[in-house]
Chain A
Amino acid sequence: EPEVTQTPSHQVTQMGQEVILRCVPISNHLYFYWYRQILGQKVEFLVSFYNNEISEKSEIFDDQFSVERPDGSNFTLKIRSTKLEDSAMYFCARGGGVSGGSETQYFGPGTRLLVL
């Protein structure tokens, strides 16, 4: 099955700036996820999104983070005021089923975010 696409592939920003990362999945999938991977560390779960609502979020996903699906297609992750420690690869993933029930997650190529 095809994966999701993500834009941009790379983003460099100044500390304190807002960034928006985009994920373009197949429109009839209902489950979407954001993960991040700090260089040299484990992939970490941020948030899951089902039927246009957040269904789970981790401790990392604090008030600086938000997700939405503004046009029913693109799925975005916004970081309101970036910190140096937000520098990481951010991966979008979609669930395997059209009707829900993830079991298998398919990952996008990632966005490399560098906060200076």
Chain B
Amino acid sequence: TQLLEQSPQFLSIQEGENLTVYCNSSSVFSSLQWYRQEPGEGPVLLVTVVTGGEVKKLKRLTFQFGDARKDSSLHITAAQPGDTGLYLCAGEGNAGNMLTFGGGTRLMVKP
């Protein structure tokens, strides 16, 4: 069974600060996806990373896939209150297309 551990579970910061969310596993994933989920809604895709060592940027968000494709990070620069939400990582296994989700990081950015 593949597991993804996300850390931290909760993060409360002031507007303008930087933060990093981590997603770690002992398993190799063929791809890793980051989502953001609002209460009562479905996960909304932010990015997919596929290649080991890959870095993708989405405005103030930077996503990195580990060289061994076992871990990933999400870095937010100069966080804004609009970044508040639940961030989820999800890995696609090598044996099939099912996604294994991490437990999520609940981010609160205070003005």
> Which stretch in B35-43, B53-61, B69-77 binds the other chain?
B35-43
Query: Would A45 and B35 be within 8 Å (CB), given that A107-B43, A112-B40 are in contact?
Result: no
* B90 part of interface (Cβ distance < 8 Å): yes
Which residue of chain A lies nearest to B41 when distances are taken between CB atoms in the complex?
A109
Task: Tell whether, in the assembled complex, residue A43 and residue B50 are in contact, meaning their CB atoms are under 8 Å apart.
Answer: no
Task: Tell whether, in the assembled complex, residue A103 and residue B98 are in contact, meaning their CB atoms are under 8 Å apart.
Answer: no
Which residues of the partner chain B approach A3 to less than 8 Å between Cβ atoms?
42
Task: Tell whether, in the assembled complex, residue B45 and residue A42 are in contact, meaning their CB atoms are under 8 Å apart.
Answer: no
* A25 part of interface (Cβ distance < 8 Å): no
Interface size class of chain B, counting residues whose CB lies under 8 Å from the partner chain: 20 to 34
Task: Tell whether, in the assembled complex, residue B97 and residue A106 are in contact, meaning their CB atoms are under 8 Å apart.
Answer: no
User: What mask results when residues 49 to 63 of chain A are scored 1 for a CB within 8 Å of chain B, else 0?
Assistant: 000000110100000
Q: Contacting A104 at CB < 8 Å: which of B42, B48, B96, B101? A: B48
- Given contact pairs A56-B97, A104-B48, A107-B44, enumerate 12 new A-B contacts (beta carbons under 8 Å): A33-B99, A43-B43, A44-B101, A45-B99, A45-B100, A48-B96, A89-B40, A102-B92, A105-B45, A105-B97, A107-B35, A110-B42
Residues of A within 8 A of B (CB): 3, 31, 33, 35, 42-45, 48, 55-56, 58, 89, 91, 95-96, 102-110, 112
